[in-house]
Structure 1
């Protein structure tokens, strides 16, 4: 693999650019003689990084527990200054507010965003999984704020002693453009009713979204002192 680097040389007050080819061997880098201008080649690096991120979906068994194969692209998520990397561990306190979501959208396309926890009440006994945390449909392009928030955002609330839960974000392109999601309830973030056993595979099959996954991400979290406050919120208090 070869990378091309550019350095600035200042002989006797005159600036000029020199382009150096770097040859990579296992554990070593050897600069060769200066070459004519070459573009900086970093595509392979980013492709490798993306592939590593996507492998986390299989490593942490989001595949096949939630979806059949890893998303083709990474869904960018930020909780404040925290950029979510697939499989990273966060706290319920850090994720109590809805994240900023970014992705590349096709012109004129509509999207559906789903956030689920397959590990409710625990990964060993997921009888209430997938527990549904957020659902936004009919998102025009990449502007999530202009979509229809069918289920208001609820942060992570893993019960005490149940270990790490996976919180999975999946973005689907709506193949028929703007859609009517018949029978879909509006769920408030002041109640946990209607959120258990909401499986992504069943939902996407019912509404014709299966096969249209375009991006995804997930983090893991376990109990902290914010969780009782979230439970109080979900009780309507």
Structure 2
């Protein structure tokens, strides 16, 4: 019996996706989402930077909305989001999480035809306060949905703070994420552009050394 239990656990562990293992390593699971993520979402910026399970990408490299790709059902609808759980600073993330991009009702993988619930901006850690995680999550919707959130433009932080991926998923019956990815972001000077754009978090920047 003990052998069977050990063998079952070993098989379950071996079946874990690479992105799930990495999300556990970076404490994304279970701190922020409670379920495993079966597939890796492909994410690339026009700067050439590619999101790859915890690699570093600076705000200037991520300034424009990324290109995303996954194994999509052309007859289904999807929701994609990016959340920043370490804001405003990793040692005191009381704004956990900020949603920096949220698009629902994506037909197939035609993101441009989806309903933009929160316009994109680059995750931008304050100067001298360490790295922050940027987490991509993709959900397959049960059907086309009516979202009752007011759309958020890229010039405001209102409505973005203390966002919960799990609560949003529960509200709309999205279930568990079907794909995901994440990267680490660290301050560069483009972050100041984002802070000014959002009129947010400037007080967390340290002076130039």
| 1:200 corresponds to which of 165, 180, 192 | 165
Task: State how many pairs are aligned.
Answer: 185
Contact 1:53 1:85 in 2 (8 A): no
Query: How far 1:53 sits from its partner (Å)?
Result: 4.1
Query: How far 1:210 sits from its partner (Å)?
Result: 2.6
1:189 matched residue in structure 2: 154
Measured against aligned partners, the alpha-carbon deviations of 1:2-35 in whole angstroms (never above 9, x if no partner) come to: xxxxxxxxxxxxxxxxxxxxxxxxxxxxxxxxxx
Higher helix share: 2
Which stretches in structure 2 are left out of the alignment for 5+ residues? 1-13, 201-209
Alignment of 1:99-110 (within 5 A): 99-110=66-77
Contact 1:54 1:86 in 2 (8 A): no
| 1:143 corresponds to which of 110, 128, 138 | 110
SS across alignment from 2:40 = coil
| 1:114 corresponds to which of 81, 90, 93 | 81
Which stretches in structure 1 are left out of the alignment for 5+ residues? 1-47
Supply the distance in 2 between the matched residues of 1:173 and 1:105 (Cα, whole angstroms).
9
Query: Which structure has the larger Rg over C-alpha atoms?
Result: 1
Q: Residue 160 in 1 paired to residue 127 in 2? A: yes
2:55 matched residue in structure 1: 88
Contact 1:131 1:198 in 2 (8 A): yes
TM-score, normalising length: structure 2: 0.83
Change (3 A) 1:209 1:51: closer
Measured against aligned partners, the alpha-carbon deviations of 1:90-141 in whole angstroms (never above 9, x if no partner) come to: 1111111111011111131000001100111122211101011000000000
SS across alignment from 2:60 = coil
1:74 matched residue in structure 2: 40
Higher strand share: 1
1:42 matched residue in structure 2: none
| 1:97 corresponds to which of 54, 64, 73 | 64
Q: Residue 63 in 1 paired to residue 29 in 2? A: yes
2:207 matched residue in structure 1: none
Supply the distance in 2 between the matched residues of 1:123 and 1:195 (Cα, whole angstroms).
17
CA RMSD of aligned residues (A): 1.7
TM-score, normalising length: structure 1: 0.74
